[in-house]
Chain A
Amino acid sequence: MRLLWLSALACNGNAHSLLNYPGFQEWQEDFHWLYHPLLPSRYTFPEIEKGIEGVEVLIVDGTLEEGLIKNRLPYRELLLRYGDQAERIVTVGTCATFGGIFAQGGGGRSGLHFEGDEHLKGYERFWEKTVSLPGCPVQPEVLAGTLSIIRRRDPLPLDTLHRPKYFYAYTIHDGCTRNEYFEYKIDEHHFGTLEGCMFYDHGCQGTFTHGSCNKILWNGVNSKTRAGTPCLGCTEPDFPREGLWRTPKHMGIPARMPLGVPRRAYLGLAGIAKAFRIERFTRPLMEDEGG
């Protein structure tokens, strides 16, 4: 399958992230890069500007900016030309999907179909064929996996923002090693420890952020929340919100509830869980049960 990777305002993190895919060598046998910002490709960028044929999947990376010119042609012209040519369009990363961090750095900046959660109409004719792969950066398994599913023409169920369900139906909270502290409402957390949950004080957005970070694991080995960093919500339209390391509160309780959980339900469960004061969760994990 022939892929064309077009970067707008990017950090190149998505391109580098893909190189970490453990099965990269084998995976790549099924794909040809017409253009990729790092890897050997069939064409040079000026040739892409001149015009090529045969694009099957267009990969859009980076925040779009009105009037952006990378070399000679407006980026928009390239997008329209190759967007029409491609069977599918994949927006890779949060920048290309929702605008992301760089959308805050100047006017006229957005993702391909969204500015935050506002659905834009500028490329509406591509909406049906677009798949959104937000993440800052995207996990390599998510990008490689989605492209493979597209290539095999297998069904690819999407959510309302066009994120593939296979990867984004989960929340980051699923699989976090700090889960028990959340379940039993142990609201004390200190950095530099294995214990505790960052939901209550330190801004963790894992319970309402879609993605597979704690299911697939980053680089196959770990995740932010396992390493004591709050989930910053990087796969969601409002990334990056202000004050990423603090939990906004409403009457002393985190203002934002876990996905789909009514506040009343949360408060009810929290009350019961807290009442039990389970001793195990107050002890360091590495300490003896007797000690």
Chain B
Amino acid sequence: MAEVRLELIEKIEGEAQVRYHYEKDHIDFAEILFLTGRGIERILEGRDPWDALAINPRVCGICGHAHLIATVRALEDCYDDLQVSAKAKQIRELTLAFEVLQNHFKWFYLTILPLLELKAPMERVLEPSRLLGEMIALLAGQYPHNSYAIPGGISGEITPVELLGVRERHQRIRKHFQESVIHVDLEQFVRCDRIETMLEREGDLPRAMQRILDWGWERLGRSHDRFIVFGSNDLFEAGKSIGTRLRRHLDLRYLQESPIQGSRARRVLYRGRSYETGPLARAMLLKTPLTREAHRRYGDSLFSRILARVCEIPRLLRYTESLIGSIDLSEPAWVDPGPLPVEAEGVGIVEAARGSLIHQVRVGEGKIQKYRIVTPTQWNLGNGSREDPGVAQAALIGLRRGDPAELVFKSFDVCSVCTTK
């Protein structure tokens, strides 16, 4: 017996509706609908290109800093030959990584644990969130919504005093991770490749993963097993992988966006196919040991997705620690790039908390002529058809009544505001 049920998914930086089509006892099809949109890309058109540095962080209250960094990269890409000091680049990488870290903590504690009916003291999410906000603010002025990354570097100057503040808080977060998330040495954890070893430890991560196993959910939420990562830096590698087969080369010309009926979101495809982006995709490209093991056992399921995301935390902590250590404060914070070319095009790519974020700008007569933003959630949550479902759709299809559809959905960490912009 066919039945259609409309459900509201809340607290995903806004809301989405899912229209579940049940066939007997399982989900036969699901449509994901985003009802509201703000039109940021339109707001940008006709404005001074630098205004994008102020406006774009406001795309999103949780990952707005990634939008700032994508914007500055797109604007810098408009120049032929632009100098940015290593120091400015490292500081930008730092604030970006701090936001990713903060988002990981917020998602794990505020979204995932409650869905597994696990409790943790509120301070476990508040403390790292607050500290990471302070760390960004020390370098960038404030969080959320600063605009300190500008063509040529950063707007202000950093002294050892700010770096000291960052270092102390970094240590605190490292401790917090080891005390609350998983009781293990960071270095050891990054090399760990056995699920059982992880489960034997104390901490909220093993508790969560054990709960998923106890409830028999570890294979739920599998999708196309296709992954894509556009951004690369010293931590992440760009490329796509189908299952475990990798291809490094990507070309933005193969990116297509298309409208979705009844929704304010647009779907995005690479060479006509949908791909998952985000921490699981990044881990698949890097072949990180623990996630690869999870994927070998359970596929691209919610188990692998959740584990991959939390496992990014220690990697990001190590990465940011080495960045802090390598900053040479005697370098300039900003090198005057000269005026932005009056006619130009630029692309800015960033690995944000939820995956690859792409900004594309076209400047004409010194103004923004066109601005296009492709967000991670568009990859993961864009709707397709029954024959060719999107990533989250494919993960939902086949679930039975009583299966945790909301957890499957939220394992992608949906960001509604980013999806509709």
Q: Which of A's residues lie within 8 Å of B, judged by CB?
A: 7, 9-17, 19-20, 22, 24-25, 37-40, 44-46, 63, 65, 68-71, 101-102, 104-106, 136-137, 190-194, 213, 218-229, 232, 240, 242-246, 286
Contact = CB atoms under 8 A, between A and B. Distances in A.
Contact of A221 (B47, B59, B123, B137): B137
A200 to B, nearest CB: 16
A45 B38 contact: no
B154 interface: yes
Given A20-B133, A227-B140, A25 B126 contact: yes
A284 to B, nearest CB: 10
Kindly list the 4 A-B residue pairs having the minimum CB-CB distance in the complex, ordered from nearest: A192-B334, A13-B61, A228-B156, A227-B141
B39 A229 contact: no
Given A192-B332, A194-B157, A240-B55, A105 B143 contact: no
B156 A71 contact: no
Nearest to A246: B48
A45 B51 contact: no
B204 interface: no
A10 B145 CA distance: 13
Contacts of A63: 38
A219 B148 CA distance: 15
B157 A224 contact: no
Nearest to B46: A242
B146 interface: yes
B134 interface: yes
B62 A12 contact: yes
A63 B126 CA distance: 27
A20 B129 contact: yes
A226 B156 CA distance: 8
Nearest to B169: A221
Interface in B363-378: none
Given A13-B64, A190-B336, A245 B142 contact: no
A226 B285 CA distance: 40
A226 B417 contact: no
Interface string B58-102: 111110100000000000000000000000100000000000000
Given A11-B60, A192-B156, A218 B142 contact: yes
A225 B140 CA distance: 10
Nearest to B420: A9
A71 B8 contact: yes
Nearest to A223: B141
Interface of B: 8, 10-11, 13-15, 17, 35-36, 38-40, 42-43, 47-48, 50-51, 53-55, 58-62, 64, 88, 110, 114, 122-123, 126, 129-130, 133-134, 136-148, 150, 152-157, 159, 165, 332-336, 417
Given A9-B36, A224-B142, 13 more contacts: A13-B60, A192-B153, A192-B154, A194-B156, A194-B157, A219-B138, A221-B138, A222-B137, A223-B141, A225-B141, A228-B141, A228-B148, A229-B155
11 contacts: A12-B61, A25-B122, A38-B110, A45-B8, A65-B36, A104-B43, A106-B39, A137-B61, A193-B156, A213-B142, A223-B142
A19 B51 contact: no
Contact of B142 (A70, A194, A222, A246): A222
Nearest to B87: A192
Given A7-B14, A13-B64, A137 B144 contact: yes
A245 B293 CA distance: 50
Chain B CB within 10 Å, residue with most, of A46, A65, A70 = A70
Contact of B40 (A44, A65, A105, A244): A105
A25 B124 CA distance: 11
A232 B53 CA distance: 11
